Chain A
Amino acid sequence: MELSLEQKRRYNRHLILDGFGKEGQLRLLQSKVLIVGAGGLGSPVALYLAASGVGTIGLVDGDMVSMTNLQRQVIHATKDVGRMKVDSAEESIRELNPDVTVVKHPVYLSEDNAADLIRQYDFVIDGSDNFATKYLVNDACVMLGKACSIGGISRYSGQLMTLVPGSACYRCLFPEPPAVKDVETCATVGVLGCIAGMLGTVQATECIKYLAGVGTLLTDTLLTFDALTMQWNRFDASRDEHCALCGQQPTITQLKEYAFQPCSKKRN
């Protein structure tokens, strides 16, 4: 594969970047990334992956753009309220970089479609807004041996981790989601909009590093961020041998019972 003249200009700052260069750029152009949730985290991830020239971006989201999304979901604009998020996001990506093939999956990730969708991609970004989907992404990626980044934001803070086959998984840190009464969503407790950008761009960076084969990933690590103190913290993690998914004697061996209910069905 050769770069066109236009691509040589578009990706020039990557091409001249020590350690990245043409080889890294070609890897991005030939890669396929699945973004689960075209929302707060998914927006910056999709925009930066598109700008950087990831060849195929899959978008999974069954939701429509609402006015309350626009405070942080920067891939959508006011005119997009009421449209499917995957349609709105596709348009923004196309305007940014026509090199990118967008594959729209206008559905919610579920135990029935997760494996088939994820199998087609090289890297998965979880930018979902609920625990059911985060655990589903984690479990499916571990079972399929896919690399992924799982992120979460709430109030003034966020957290994320990168998984590759063999590294600690989300369940090694959080074996089960919180009890329903303890769950805080962006819709119930709010979130500082720009946090989505701070965490989402880290997810995009992890993805690009993985695809291009540069640097060290946030594997076996939980990265947390607190906007009020502007503190980033890294915590070392290791695979839990008792983990129900990736431990010595796993009890979770198939994808079932994630019980996700889309936000829009719960409240406005």
Chain B
Amino acid sequence: MKILINDKETDTSVSTLAALAEELNLPAKGVAVAVGGKMVPRTEWTDAALHEGDKVIIINAACGG
């Protein structure tokens, strides 16, 4: 299925956010993910189903100041 990751169309076979995070090798800490404009807490990634056309945004925590 096709989803948008950070505004780029991407093909994926996974069906949950947790599986996507694994596929993309996202770090275990310091990264947040929003789907459809809503932040999804990390504790809910396993149950967060992905659907065709979903807009996924990956946000790295920024520490500069």
- With an 8 A cutoff between CB atoms, is A55 at the interface? no
* Measured CA separation A41–B64 after assembly (Å): 9
Q: Which residues of B contact A127 (CB under 8 A)?
A: 65
Binds B, one of A17-25, A98-106, A151-159: A151-159
- Bound-state CA distance A234–B59 (Å) is 12
Q: Does B34 contact A (CB under 8 A)?
A: yes
A237 touches B39 (CB 8 A): yes
Closest to A189 in B: B64
Give the nearest-CB partner of A134 in chain B. B63
B42 and A179 contact, CB distance less than 8 A = no
A178 touches B27 (CB 8 A): yes
Contacts of A173 in B (CB 8 A): 32, 39, 41, 61
Which residues in B have their C-beta under 8 angstroms from that of A182?
Answer: 27, 29-30
Minimal Cβ-Cβ distance residue in A for B43: A242
Q: Check B60–A178 contact: CB distance below 8 A.
A: yes
- The verdict on A154 contacting B64 (CB below 8 Å), with A172-B41, A173-B32, A242-B43 known, is yes
Binding site for B on A (CB under 8 A): 37, 39-42, 126-131, 134, 151-154, 157-159, 172-179, 182-186, 191, 196, 222, 224, 233-238, 240, 242-243
Other than the given A131-B63, A152-B61, A191-B64, 18 more pairs (CB < 8 A) read: A41-B65, A129-B65, A134-B63, A152-B63, A158-B62, A159-B61, A173-B61, A174-B31, A174-B32, A177-B30, A178-B27, A178-B29, A186-B64, A235-B34, A235-B59, A236-B37, A238-B39, A242-B41
Q: List 26 A-B contacts (CB under 8 A).
A: A39-B65, A40-B65, A41-B65, A127-B65, A130-B63, A151-B65, A152-B65, A153-B64, A154-B60, A157-B62, A158-B64, A174-B61, A177-B29, A177-B61, A177-B63, A178-B31, A179-B27, A179-B29, A179-B30, A183-B30, A191-B64, A222-B32, A222-B34, A236-B38, A242-B43, A243-B41
